[in-house]
């Protein structure tokens, strides 16, 4: 490998820019969610700190940092302290795979707007999302509390079930793009976005990522109405904050991946690619918040029915139909 210093510099720059951007975005997602939910409920939402309440995330951060960091005496110290990181890190790392814009020309060298372009990109995404389960499971287990344990058991079952339909709904995308490299998937959609060929797969993927980020209507692992706060009941301060922000990072990342897989990534007319990508990702985030403002929580058996009896078989059928169609096309 020929690593020109400029390359290293560019890589470092990309990593830091994306890290800062994604953390800020996640913090403001929390704020946007609170405002939007308030509007949906005919309220105003947080509007006190700074103009229009825009400094609210900062105030929240200070509050969380100032709180006591507490581990239940009967809990498992090590796993309890590690679990929030296990939940947040896979989400952040996944963003390294996402191409956020067209390659740009920087001082004569072409720089991809993507941190790594792995030849197994899509699989790494699946691997990381299956790893994210451990944060939920171990966090709830290590708390040594029945609510947390119930939440994490639900979380385990839900995440495993929906990972399956998520993975299966991506197979047609791979078949269409003939690659699992994310940049190639994007460039395969230069003409027509895959959502046109694969509306069903898109729908399945959308529902699965909703369940993957544990959002209403699939928020059973943290169902406030029944389990206090589910798997992170016992967490306080910044560790809770890490779980919380991790969830929002997950929304952004999965939204970005959904636009990469189905909405053509950064492709789009007129506007610059990065703007297109941001727009698509944020519209997914908006959709998630909107859904949260609308739908009630599913029951556990309904959740399992939807996952195993509807989404997974549909995804399998969809794969077969796509294969048949591609075969006929030659």
Partner 1 sequence: MNLLPILFYLLAAVMVAATIFAITEKHPVHAIAYLVTSFFALAAIFYLLAAPLVAMFEVIIYAGAIMVLFMFVIMMLDPGHADEARRPGLLHWLPALFFAGIILAALVMGAALRQAVPVPISTGLGVKEFSLALFRRYGVAIEIISMQLLFAVVGALYLGKKRSPSRSEDS
Partner 2 sequence: MSLFDDISGVITGMWTTWKHIFRRPVTIQYPEEKRQPSPRYRARIILTRDPDGGERCVACYLCSAACPVDCISMQAGERDNGRRFAVWFRINFSRCIFCGLCAEACPTMAIQMTPDYEICQRDIMELLYEKEDLLVNHCGKEPEYNFYRHAGIGITQPRGEGDGERPPVDVRGLLP
Please identify, using beta-carbon distances, which residue of 24 and 294 lies nearer to partner 2: 294
Q: Which is nearer to partner 1, 23 or 126 (CB)?
A: 126
Give 55 or 171: the residue with its C-beta nearer to partner 2. 55
Does position 284 interact with partner 1 (CB under 8 A)? The reply is no
**One residue of 7, 20, 44, 62 binding partner 2 per CB under 8 A:** 44
Query: CA-based diameter of the chain, in Å?
Result: 64
Q: Which does 41 bind (CB under 5 to 8 A by kind): partner 1, partner 2, none?
A: partner 2
Binder to partner 1 among 37, 64, 118, 228 (CB under 8 A)? 118
Ranges of H-type helices in the chain: 5-40, 56-66, 77-94, 121-131, 133-142, 146-177, 182-187, 194-197, 199-212, 224-227, 237-261, 273-294, 300-304, 312-329
Nearer to partner 1, 75 or 241 (CB): 75
Distance CA 137, CA 330 (A): 45
Contact 61, 49 (CB under 8 A): no
CA gyration radius, the chain = 20
Among 17, 295, 317, 323, binds partner 2 (CB under 8 A): 295
157 binds partner 1 (CB under 8 A): yes
Which does residue 130 bind out of partner 2, partner 1, none, counting CB within 5 to 8 angstroms by kind? Answer: partner 1
| Sign of the C-alpha dihedral computed for residues 13, 19, 22 and 23 taken in this order | negative
Select from 94, 152, 250, 318 the one that contacts partner 1 (CB under 8 A). 152
Query: What would the x/- binding string for partner 2 be over residues 19 to 38, using CB under 8 A?
Result: -----------------x-x
Question: Residue 293, interface with partner 2 (CB under 8 A)?
Answer: yes
The reply to whether 304 sits near partner 1 by the rule CB under 8 A is no
DSSP 325: H
Least distance between partner 1 and beta carbon 137 (Å)? 6
Give the residue, chosen from 163, 212, 219, 234, that forms a contact with partner 1 under the rule CB under 8 A. Answer: 163
The full length of the chain comes to: 330
Distance in Å, CB of 40 to partner 2, minimum: 5
Taking the C-alpha atoms of residue 13 and residue 31, their distance in angstroms, rounded to an integer, is: 27
Q: What x/- string results for residues 71 through 100 when contact with partner 1 is judged by CB under 8 A? A: -----x--x---------------------
Main-chain phi, psi angles of 66, to 5 degrees = -80, -10
Please tell me whether residue 124 binds partner 1 under the rule CB under 8 A.
yes
Instruction: Report the distance separating Cα 241 and Cα 26, nearest Å.
Output: 11
Supply the minimum distance, in Å, between the C-beta of residue 174 and partner 1.
9
**Comparison of 16 and 41: residue with beta carbon closer to partner 2:** 41
Judged by DSSP in three states, 113 sits in strand
Helix 121-131 to helix 146-177 angle (10° resolution) is 170
Question: Could you tell me the CA-to-CA distances from 310 to 129, 164, 170, 204, 318 in Å, in that order?
Answer: 21, 12, 16, 9, 12
**Residue numbers at the binding site for partner 2 (CB under 8 A):** 36, 38-44, 290-291, 293-295
């Amino acid at each position: 490998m020929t690593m020109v210093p400029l390359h290293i510099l560019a890589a470092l720059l990309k990593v830091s820019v994306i890290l800062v951007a994604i953390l800020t975005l996640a913090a403001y997602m929390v704020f946007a969610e609170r405002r939007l939910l308030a509007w949906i409920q005919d309220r105003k939402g947080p509007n006190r700190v700074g103009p229009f309440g825009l400094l609210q995330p900062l105030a929240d951060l200070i509050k969380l940092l100032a709180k006591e960091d507490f581990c239940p005496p009967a809990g498992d110290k090590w796993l309890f302290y590690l679990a929030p990181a296990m939940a947040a890190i896979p989400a952040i790392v996944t963003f390294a795979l996402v191409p956020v814009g067209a390659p740009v020309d920087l001082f004569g060298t072409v720089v991809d707007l993507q941190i790594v372009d792995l030849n197994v990109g899509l699989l790494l995404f699946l691997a990381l999302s299956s790893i994210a389960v451990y944060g939920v499971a171990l966090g709830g287990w290590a708390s040594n509390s029945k609510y947390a344990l119930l939440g994490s058991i639900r979380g385990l079952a839900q995440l495993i079930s929906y990972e399956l339909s998520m993975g299966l709904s991506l197979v047609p995308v791979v078949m269409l793009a003939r690659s699992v490299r994310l940049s190639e998937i994007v460039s395969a959609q230069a003409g027509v976005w895959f959502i046109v060929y694969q509306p069903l797969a898109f729908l399945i993927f959308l529902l699965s990522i909703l369940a993957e980020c544990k959002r209403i209507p699939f928020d059973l692992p943290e169902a406030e109405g029944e389990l206090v706060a589910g798997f992170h009941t016992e967490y306080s301060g910044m560790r809770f904050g890490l779980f919380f922000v991790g969830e929002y990072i997950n929304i952004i990342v999965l939204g970005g991946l959904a636009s990469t897989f189905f909405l053509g990534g950064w492709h789009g007319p007129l506007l610059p690619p990065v703007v297109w990508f941001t727009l698509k990702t944020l519209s997914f985030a908006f959709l998630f918040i909107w859904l949260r403002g609308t739908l009630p929580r599913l029951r556990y058996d309904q959740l399992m029915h939807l996952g195993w009896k509807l989404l997974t078989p549909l995804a399998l059928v969809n794969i077969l139909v796509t294969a048949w169609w591609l075969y006929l096309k030659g």
